[in-house]
Amino acid sequence: MNHLLKMADLSGDEIIELLNLADQLKYEQKHGIKHPHLEGKTLGMIFQKASTRTRVSFEVGMYQLGGQALFLSGNDLQIGRGEPVEDTARVLSRYLDGIMIRTFKQQEVEDLANYGSIPIINGLTDYAHPCQVLADLMTIREFKGVLKGLKMCYIGDGNNMANSLIVGGLKCGMHVSVATPKGYEPAVTVIDFAKQFDCFTLTNSITEAVKDADVVITDVWTSMGQEHEAAKRRQDFKGFIIDQSLLKHAKPDAIVQHCLPAHKGEEIAADVFEAHAAEIFEEAENRMHAQKAVLVKLMG
């Protein structure tokens, strides 16, 4: 493991290894046990997309690991003025010990890894969101004790979250069901990967997808950069909401996850959100612990 560019880069064993390390680091942080694994190391954080959780969790995580993080806005870098990614990668590799990038195109992340000489971490692209899904899997295991054999249901846009949840869930031995409106299915590469498994379902029916689910996950209907599609998406996604009536089809003890920010009343009902707030905000916290595990693994 030299980089974390997408969930497909990880084997099932590597995912579990990262989750085990994340659990350990979380325990140590909660009990005041210092773990300066990255003392003297510096992480550059490139943001072409704005963020709350990604910036704060990586910055605090690096501090807790004894290192430091540099916030690099796309507006302030030459990469935002047309400098080729390959040149930026080669320059930053001489200053930093690792780069986390949150951007639009997956190819930009891949190019940084190809031309740079330090670990690259995908903090989010339009194609993949591996750090979030590691946090999701960590949270599911905390609440359920296991991953293998559980049914994970995702309802909503076939976006970066759907792509990464499908790959991560299947690699961990989960049954994965996904419901999207017609025309909003996950990436073809992800569907092709999932076809290898007989425990994957893709449907346009939310009730079919959620049946007997152990965990139900959703995301906003309109992601960053798609604001011009918002009105159309509200129409196309009508009914794709996690509410109490839908959860009756899941297992009685099903947990609910949302990567945040949530648009309550659209993809998730406000009362469902509040009823499952403990799981959702534990998931948000676990971003930091899961990412710390990635940082230690790549930069330690």
Q: Which segments are annotated as binding site for L-ornithine?
A: 160, 219, 223-224
Q: Which listed residue (37, 48, 106, 129) is catalytic?
A: 129
> Could you confirm whether 55 is annotated as catalytic?
no
H, E, C per residue of the chain: CCCECCHHHCCHHHHHHHHHHHHHHHHHHHCCCCCCCCCCCEEEEEECCCCCHHHHHHHHHHHHCCCEEEEEECCCCHHHHCCCHHHHHHHHCCCCCEEEEECCCHHHHHHHHHHCCCCEEEEECCCCCHHHHHHHHHHHHHHHCCCCCCEEEEECCCCHHHHHHHHHHHHCCCEEEEECCCCCCCCHHHHHHHCCCCCEEEECCHHHHHCCCCEEEECCCCCCCCHHHHHHHHHHCCCCCECHHHHCCCCCCCEEEECCCCCECCCECHHHHHHCHHHHHHHHHHHHHHHHHHHHHHHC
Q: Which listed residue (259, 276, 289, 291) is catalytic?
A: 259
Q: Which listed residue (29, 48, 106, 132) is catalytic?
A: 132
> Could you confirm whether 234 is annotated as catalytic?
no
The rounded distance, in Å, linking the Cα atoms of 174 and 133 is 13
The rounded distance, in Å, linking the Cα atoms of 128 and 165 is 9
Residue ranges for the known binding site for carbamoyl phosphate are: 51-54, 78, 102, 129-132, 259-260, 287
Q: Which listed residue (102, 141, 175, 276) is catalytic?
A: 102
Q: Which listed residue (37, 175, 287, 289) is catalytic?
A: 287
The rounded distance, in Å, linking the Cα atoms of 169 and 175 is 7
The rounded distance, in Å, linking the Cα atoms of 151 and 110 is 31
| Residue entry with tokens 């796309």 | 74
> Could you confirm whether 199 is annotated as catalytic?
no
> Could you confirm whether 219 is annotated as catalytic?
yes
Residue ranges for the known binding site are: 51-54, 78, 102, 129-132, 160, 219, 223-224, 259-260, 287
Show Cβ contacts of residue 231 under 8 Å, excluding neighbours closer than 6 positions: none
> Could you confirm whether 132 is annotated as catalytic?
yes
Q: Which listed residue (126, 136, 157, 219) is catalytic?
A: 219
Q: List, by residue number, the catalytic residues.
A: 102, 129, 132, 219, 259, 287
